[in-house]
Structure 1
Amino acid sequence: MQLQLSSTDIIVILCSIIILIVLLILIVIYGVFIKKKSELLLIHQQKEAIFEQELARSQVELQNQTLKYIGQELHDDLGQKLSVARLMTSKLKHADPADLRIVEEINLILGESLQDIRNISKSFITPAADVGDFVESLEKEVFRIKRLSLLEVDYRINRHHLPINAEHGLILFRIIQECITNVIKHSRSKSIQIIVEDRPKQTKFVISDKGIGFKTARNFEGIGLKNMINRAKIINAEFKISSEENQGTAVTIIYKKL
């Protein structure tokens, strides 16, 4: 028995086939559209990431130029004036014996100030020369804090020869230096802990205190914190900060080895 289709049935079938084809075409077009949109979004995100990295690099380069200028001014101008002042006070040693103690004290203070200025200008002007300089600079910073009795320092390092790129070492040191400065200036903590843990694929730095702390979200707009975050981005390091009011603050930096 043969099934005979009327003209109406044929038209309905043809219309159904056409609609199905159109739907398939629309689905394909939509799929292509989504794929292109995803590709464009990915390209846009990559461009934004590159732009942020370049912006961060430019900001740090500008800051380094500023620091270099300040270092040169400290060394060439103020340093020279203090040297002359120290020389003049040295000539006063032959004055009245009653004033000799005061003169010696002034001369000692000028000498210490001059050495401090030289150290500061050198740290601003001179880039990291080799891997050893990073640990040396960090330990000088720790010694300075102890010598001036600014804080009690718990300093731990499991390896004194860190395999860190010289340029990256300088950036890491600036981040840690900023952390230490923040603890001294803002934390009201009596102590600071600095831990350096070198591992096969990364080096971990933790700087913590037991000070007043802060609400993390509120303080993420600070210039100092932004500078540290930008510096970390440049060397592809992870930067984390955790803080609770009246509980202290901890900064963790994870430097990934290439």
Structure 2
Amino acid sequence: MQEVSDITNQYQREILKAQLEMQEQTFRYISEEIHDNIGQLLTIVRINLSMIGEVKHVDSDVVTVTKKLLDDATSGLRGLSRRLNAEFVGQQPFSNSLRLHLNLIEAAGIHRVSLELHGEETEFEPGVKVIVFRIVQEALNNILKHADAHTISIALMYFPQETVLRIRDDGQGFDASKLNGTDRQKMGVGTHTMHYRANLIGAQFSIESKQGAGTLVQMTLPANRTAAM
């Protein structure tokens, strides 16, 4: 009973930690999005409004464009506000959370992204979903920081006995042989944490990569950690 209690407490602590990390990671993306995209939209709106104030006859096209820019900025801010809410991930289908996160990456204009769904989508347990999403965030963060990739693709495959999640990039790759062996001390902190969290929720986790051949991150979760939507 004590062992079960310790495992349960450890699991709950990891969920909370993952939620906090998830928010911190999202804050960084949102800061860049506001600066690079929404900030530019509002700057153009301000210029257009200044032009309108200086002329006697307002060009209807300028007004239409300005309204469209404001709509885009408002829509962008609404989407960003949803991402700030850790509960939003728990309330949405997992594929929606992935798609929103990939869209945020794509908005930076550096990477092409894609999401493929196979099979009938089933939902993760709430706590499991938070941990899986945080593992995805960590994997994507590694790609953005180290891979020098052009494309990022995620495949989410639902089978009767398991759910398989694959994250692939076309970056420079690396020697991943030491990551999947027994010597975990050679792993970076982020990679070790992904392995640890996957093990905590009963998932199999692996990273495959070669120099110049990109990287594949794969996680397989047994069906007993999901529930029908």
TM-score (norm 1): 0.58
- Secondary structure of residue in 2 paired with 1:126: helix
Superposed, 1:239-258 pairs within 5 Å as: 239-258=205-224
1:112: how far off? Answer: 6.3
User: Judging changes above 3 Å, is the alpha-carbon distance between structure 1 residues 204 and 112 closer, same or farther for their aligned structure 2 residues?
Assistant: same
- Post-superposition Cα deviations, 1:27-56, rounded to whole Å, max 9, x if no partner, equal xxxxxxxxxxxxxxxxxxxx7x99788556
Instruction: Provide the residue aligned with 1:96 in structure 2.
Output: 54
Structure 2 segments unaligned to the other structure (5+ residues) = 180-184, 225-229
Alignment of 1:5-24 (within 5 A): none
Match of 1:228 among 184, 187, 194: 194
| CA-based RMSD | 4.3
Q: Tell whether the 8 Å contact from 1:127 to 1:170 is kept in structure 2 after alignment.
A: yes
- On the 8 A contact 2:15/2:127 being kept in 1, the answer is no
Q: SS of the counterpart of 1:204? A: strand
Compute the displacement of 1:119 (Å).
3.4
Other-structure match for 1:117: 80
How far apart, CA to CA, are the structure 2 residues paired with 1:156 and 1:110?
28
Q: Larger radius of gyration, structure 1 or 2?
A: 1
User: Cα gap change, 1:199/1:70 in structure 2, threshold over 3 Å: closer, same or farther?
Assistant: closer
TM-score, structure 2 as length reference:
0.64
Aligned match of 1:134: 94
Say which of 189, 195, 207 aligns to 2:155. Answer: 195
One-letter amino acid of the structure 2 residue matched with residue 167 of structure 1: G
Higher relative contact order (CA 8 A, sep 6+): 2
Aligned residue pairs, count: 197
Name the CA distance, whole Å, in 2 between partners of 1:50 and 1:125. 25
2:26–2:84 Cα contact (<8 Å) kept: yes
8 Å CA contact 2:154, 2:168 repeated in 1: yes
Cα offset, 1:187, TM superposition: 0.8
Cα gap change, 1:223 to 1:93, in 2 (>3 Å): farther
Q: Percent identity?
A: 19
Q: Tell me by how many angstroms 1:158 deviates.
A: 1.2
Higher helix share: 1
Counterpart Cα distance in 2 of 1:205 and 1:245? 23
| 1:65 to partner: Cα distance | 3.8
Within 5 Å, give how 1:148-163 maps onto structure 2.
148-163=108-123
Change (3 A) 1:121 1:200: same
Instruction: Supply the AA of the counterpart residue of 1:229.
Output: H
2:182 alignment partner in structure 1: none
Change in 2 beyond 3 A, CA 1:70/1:247: closer
Residue 167 of structure 2: aligned partner: 207
Q: Say whether the 8 Å CA contact 2:157–2:165 is kept in structure 1.
A: yes
| Unmatched 5+ stretches in structure 1 | 1-46
